[in-house]
Copies of this chain bind each other. A is one copy, B any other.
Amino acid sequence: MSNKRPLILRAFDGESVERPPVWFMRQAGRYLPEYRAVRKGHTFLTMCHNPELATEVTLQPLRRYPLDAGIVFSDILLPLESMGSQLEYVPGTGPVIRNPVRTATDVAALKEFDPVRDLPATMETIRMCIEQADVPILGFAGAPFTMACYLIEGQGSRNWPQVKKLMMSEPALFGALLDRLADAVGDHLQAQVDAGAAAVQLFDTWAGALTPDDFRRWALPASRRALARVSGAPRLFFTKDSACFLPWLREIEADAYALDWRVDIDRAREILGDVPVQGNLDPQSLHAPHEEIRRRVHRVIEKAGPRGHIFNLGHGLTPDIPPEGVGAAIDAVRSWSWS
């Protein structure tokens, strides 16, 4: 191992690097046959709450590929379970919360969340992975608005009608809920940093469903509140469909911003100013012939420029993506040289 600091931390610091560091959202997941083999015997939630299993699947992509970081195997909705949600993963539907939160009574009934007490497996997984891996291990959490989406709607949705109904008809209650969630996920990120996470990412997956006005009023300040509780490691903020939010994104006060594939990374950097960015290959590019993958990877790197860029996808790996495509993309990143 080099005596330099890990590449990903140097990129977060805005140093000039030979090539961007590379990791992939959902790199520990169903596209890998070795993941499916472990998953076969256990429910998804069992795996999240078992440090040995979670460590195994966190390390799987690091064994297969020369990645520059691992990300702890966990799920953004675990804190909701600790707060009282009856959470299930239903095949074909995804996460379902049997007791969604829609009234003041529901909000008041949410339990206090203490990440160290409530999610010891995640912290233990981070510690075990750090011991066994050669690269930094990242932590993560869902952003307050995205957590509120699942909590209120009770499951994933194209249009989030229940969420928007509550937001528009009971703004004070909606704001109080976002505050509760912001404090919870902020503490969750800090606990992961305390356990050794080298950086943390806040996923505001569904904030892109909002109008720019609603994003500025609700999702943005809630994420800022969450990140303000976290220190000691770089804090990344991700949202999909953020193209129209770029002029205000820096108000979140994250240390770096992860971009989806539907924005030109060079234009995004112009708008964001001098701050590291992560992204932003279209995940579906990994289905392409390897020469085309290489061309697309290099185009992202070239547009992003030599400083403050962490290579990643614009969204998570999906189960249908071929592991060979993932390997081809990583090879393409590693073959790049800025000198």
Is the CB of A292 closer than 8 A to any CB of chain B? Answer: yes
Total A residues in contact with B, Cβ cutoff 8 Å: 33
Given contacts A241-B241, A292-B169, contact A320 B161 (CB under 8 A): yes
**Which residues of the other chain, B, contact A292 by a CB distance below 8 angstroms?**
168-169
**Which residues of the other chain, B, contact A213 by a CB distance below 8 angstroms?**
264, 299
Complex CA–CA separation, A209 to B314 (angstroms): 11
**Which residues of the other chain, B, contact A25 by a CB distance below 8 angstroms?**
none
**Which residues of the other chain, B, contact A262 by a CB distance below 8 angstroms?**
208-212, 241, 244
User: Nearest residue in B to A321 (C-beta to C-beta)?
Assistant: B161
**Which residues of the other chain, B, contact A159 by a CB distance below 8 angstroms?**
283-284, 318
Smallest distance from the beta carbon of A185 to chain B beta carbons, Å? 24
Is the CB of A133 closer than 8 A to any CB of chain B? Answer: no
**Which residues of the other chain, B, contact A243 by a CB distance below 8 angstroms?**
241, 243-244
- B165 touching A287, Cβ below 8 Å: yes
Q: How many copies does the complex hold?
A: 2
- A288 touching B165, Cβ below 8 Å: yes
- B211 touching A282, Cβ below 8 Å: yes
Is the CB of A50 closer than 8 A to any CB of chain B? Answer: no
Complex CA–CA separation, A288 to B211 (angstroms): 14
- A168 touching B211, Cβ below 8 Å: no
User: Nearest residue in B to A244 (C-beta to C-beta)?
Assistant: B243
For A288, give its contact among B168, B208, B264, B289 (CB under 8 Å). Answer: B168
Smallest distance from the beta carbon of A157 to chain B beta carbons, Å? 10
Smallest distance from the beta carbon of A95 to chain B beta carbons, Å? 15
**Which residues of the other chain, B, contact A264 by a CB distance below 8 angstroms?**
212-213, 244
Complex CA–CA separation, A243 to B288 (angstroms): 26
- B212 touching A289, Cβ below 8 Å: no
Complex CA–CA separation, A212 to B214 (angstroms): 25
Is the CB of A267 closer than 8 A to any CB of chain B? Answer: yes
- A164 touching B285, Cβ below 8 Å: yes
User: Nearest residue in B to A169 (C-beta to C-beta)?
Assistant: B289
**Which residues of the other chain, B, contact A318 by a CB distance below 8 angstroms?**
159, 161
8 A Cβ contacts from A236-288 to B = 241, 243-244, 261-264, 267, 282-285, 287-288
Query: 4 closest pairs, A vs B, by CB?
Result: A168-B288, A243-B244, A243-B243, A164-B284
A-B contact pairs, 20 of them (CB 8 A): A159-B284, A159-B318, A164-B287, A165-B284, A165-B287, A165-B288, A168-B285, A168-B287, A168-B288, A208-B262, A209-B262, A210-B262, A210-B282, A212-B262, A213-B264, A241-B243, A241-B262, A243-B243, A244-B262, A244-B267
